[in-house]
Amino acid sequence: MTSILLDCDDSYTLNIYDYLMQCGFEVDVINHREVSLEKMEEFDSIILSPGPNSPNQVPILFDILTTYADYKPILGICLGHQAIGMHYGHALVRSKQPMHGISVKISKAISPIFHRIDMENLMVMRYNSLAVEDKENSELEVIARDEIGEIMAFKHKMHNIYSFQFHPESVGTPQGLKLIENWKKQLITNN
């Protein structure tokens, strides 16, 4: 399975690349300033990386979602998660508590992407000061929240789109590799 990992200038991008490779993906990493929508067509799936800015400062994220969300599997991480939320009409606001290098417990998680994850002890690493708000009648299903109720993961109700506000590739998310493995299983199951 070929994937493009869109690098949004984040230091964790190569950790994501490593996890994807460990899970058997063939991955190209391309910086968001150097990619074209036409280039994305070559890949089976798309990963939208974390980054230091707001999604509004990386407009290609929204172009990618507009062009490919209906038929290509997409995984968004942190900034990518926020872009997915915004694309589907969720507001982006300041997080209730800025989280930079802080592990939090996931208090609610429902989805096959959490299969064989120890939910009693699911700690995840957050690096964000922005968060996606809830939205009534959203096309996105909230599949995980932290203990203060902020959205930690989405799944699109009809398309193969998942996202994490937290960083599965961080050492502060000990079960992160399993989450990426589970995402790959969802790709195989749903394609």
Give the residue numbers annotated as catalytic, written as ranges: 78, 167, 169
Q: What are phi and psi of 141, to 5 degrees?
A: -100, 130
Continuous segment of H or E residues that includes residue 108: strand 92-109
Tokens linked to 54 = 């707001």
Q: How far apart are the first and last CA of the chain?
A: 11
Cα–Cα distances (Å) from 156 to 10, 26, 75, 95, in that order, read 25, 24, 11, 22
Residue 85 near residue 140, CB atoms below 8 Å: yes
Round to whole Å and give the CA distance between 23 and 180.
7
Residue 27 near residue 17, CB atoms below 8 Å: yes
Q: What are phi and psi of 116, to 5 degrees?
A: 60, 25
Residue 92 near residue 142, CB atoms below 8 Å: no
